[in-house]
Amino acid sequence: MVIKTEPFVVNIGPAHPSTHGVFRMRATLDGEVVLDIEPVFGYLHRGIEKLAEERTYTQIIPLTDRLDYLASMSNNLAYVLAVEKLAGIAVPERAEYLRVIMAELQRIASHLIGVGAFLNDCGAFMTPILYMIREREKILDLFEMVCGQRLTYNYMRIGGVSHDIPEEFLPALKKFVDSMPGFIDEYDQLLKENEILLARSKGVGILSREQAINISASGPVLRASGVKWDIRKVDPYSIYDRFGFEVPTGSAGDCYDRYRVRVEEMRQSVRILKQAVEKLPAGEVRSEVSHLVRPPAGEAYGHIEAPRGELGFYLVSDNSIAPYRFHVRAPSLLNLTALREMVVGWKVADVLAIFGSIDICMGEADR
């Protein structure tokens, strides 16, 4: 007897436990095997680029918080760098150090969520992500101490940062920096060598070096494929050239490598934080810049190494108080275009593990 079979289409998302936001994948399945996948974007589109073109340069900073809401500090930093480039504003020394401290704390916080969510997608029942959220909570406490908010910080300003740190911040930060490597070791002990995790992630969802470069992937996704490309090293912004740190890379470009690259980056961030705390100079944190910045006509592109990859802001000014054009180069969106190449041929369970290993944030991808 011949049993007639046919592939069937499953909508994974937009409301699904592990699509990390409202993302939809139209997957064609043959049993468990994924034959084809079609990503559907735009469920979280809020028109932030257009909204920004109707606001002054300072008013846009709170909007950038809402792009990648897991890494608001990095978004703030990328945006103010672009504006400073456009208007030619210098930043005080202490503010530069504070920016680096905040950006690296944010990188740790974001990677904690990224790694935790990936392990959760692999089926570890909430345990790793809850441990990681515990440490993220400590970082959020620090952010709250400095800027009064836990998610949408609105901390960076054009020409510096909004506030100096309170006096209890540095002791708390030192305590955090000292204890964090121990916690990272604990996460590694929990699941790094777990046979089931290895079976689930090693060799799964391979993105080759060429593919990664061709789709212009960036961040941990690119580095896991063996490309040593980190904006902090190749085009140092702010004062990153003053710190010693490694750029961890993977070799295979599979889910496991992406997971390991993120964990190693957390260690490197702790290293940068240690140096920054030691070198932190005294002085002003904000240069004299009016709330209404009016940059000369022209254009500028400022980019940083955000936790998810190269985050860039492209601004065109017509010498008014609002940008004429505001564009975000969102790493999540570009990394997500690699999804189809990675998942075709794998099982349904792998789709979500691979998806989790890209570590996307839909607020940024859909804008």
Q: Which 199-228 residues touch another protein, going by CB under 8 A?
A: 199-200, 202-204
Task: From 94-102, 196-204, 225-233, 270-278, give the range in contact with another protein by CB under 8 A.
Answer: 196-204
8 Å CB contact between 25 and 40? yes
Nearer to another protein, 50 or 228 (CB): 50
Q: How many residues bind to another protein according to rule CB under 8 A?
A: 77
**Residue of 42, 47, 88, 166 interacting with another protein (CB under 8 A):** 166
Q: Give residues with Cβ within 8 angstroms of 104, minimum separation 6.
A: 269, 272, 273, 276
Site for another protein in 311-350 (CB under 8 A): 344-350
Place of tokens 């080759």: 208
**Minimum distance from residue 9 beta carbon to another protein (Å):** 8
Cα separation, 221 vs 234, whole angstroms: 17
| Tokens matching residue 252 | 């295979």
**Minimum distance from residue 84 beta carbon to another protein (Å):** 18
**Residue of 352, 358, 360, 362 interacting with another protein (CB under 8 A):** 352
Q: Is 347 helix (H, G, I), strand (E, B) or coil?
A: strand
| Tokens matching residue 55 | 């606001």
8 Å CB contact between 286 and 186? no
**Minimum distance from residue 207 beta carbon to another protein (Å):** 13
**Minimum distance from residue 136 beta carbon to another protein (Å):** 10
Nearer to another protein, 231 or 360 (CB): 360
**Minimum distance from residue 69 beta carbon to another protein (Å):** 12
Q: Is 214 helix (H, G, I), strand (E, B) or coil?
A: helix
Does residue number 31 form part of the binding site for another protein (CB under 8 A)?
yes
Nearer to another protein, 54 or 235 (CB): 54
**Minimum distance from residue 244 beta carbon to another protein (Å):** 26
8 Å CB contact between 132 and 117? no
Q: Give residues with Cβ within 8 angstroms of 214, minimum separation 6.
A: none
**Minimum distance from residue 23 beta carbon to another protein (Å):** 14
Name the E strands within the chain.
8-12, 24-30, 33-40, 156-157, 160-161, 298-306, 309-317, 325-329
Site for another protein in 249-288 (CB under 8 A): none
CB atoms within 10 A of CB 263: 17
| Tokens matching residue 235 | 């085009």
Nearer to another protein, 70 or 334 (CB): 70
Q: Is 171 helix (H, G, I), strand (E, B) or coil?
A: helix
Dihedral of CA atoms 50, 56, 62, 67 in degrees, nearest 10, equals 30
Cα separation, 201 vs 255, whole angstroms: 5
Strand partners, 37: 27
For 128, list phi and psi in degrees, rounded to 5: -60, -40
Site for another protein in 4-23 (CB under 8 A): 8, 10, 16-18
Site for another protein in 119-158 (CB under 8 A): 119-127, 130-131, 134, 137-138, 141, 144-149, 152, 154
Nearer to another protein, 121 or 305 (CB): 121
Nearer to another protein, 231 or 338 (CB): 338
Site for another protein in 56-95 (CB under 8 A): 58-63, 65
Nearer to another protein, 63 or 334 (CB): 63
Does residue number 35 form part of the binding site for another protein (CB under 8 A)?
yes
**Minimum distance from residue 42 beta carbon to another protein (Å):** 22
Respond yes or no on whether the N-terminal peptide bond of residue 62 is cis (omega within 30° of 0). no
Nearer to another protein, 106 or 120 (CB): 120
* Amino acid at position 223, single letter: R
Strand partners, 129: none
Does residue number 234 form part of the binding site for another protein (CB under 8 A)?
no
**Minimum distance from residue 231 beta carbon to another protein (Å):** 27
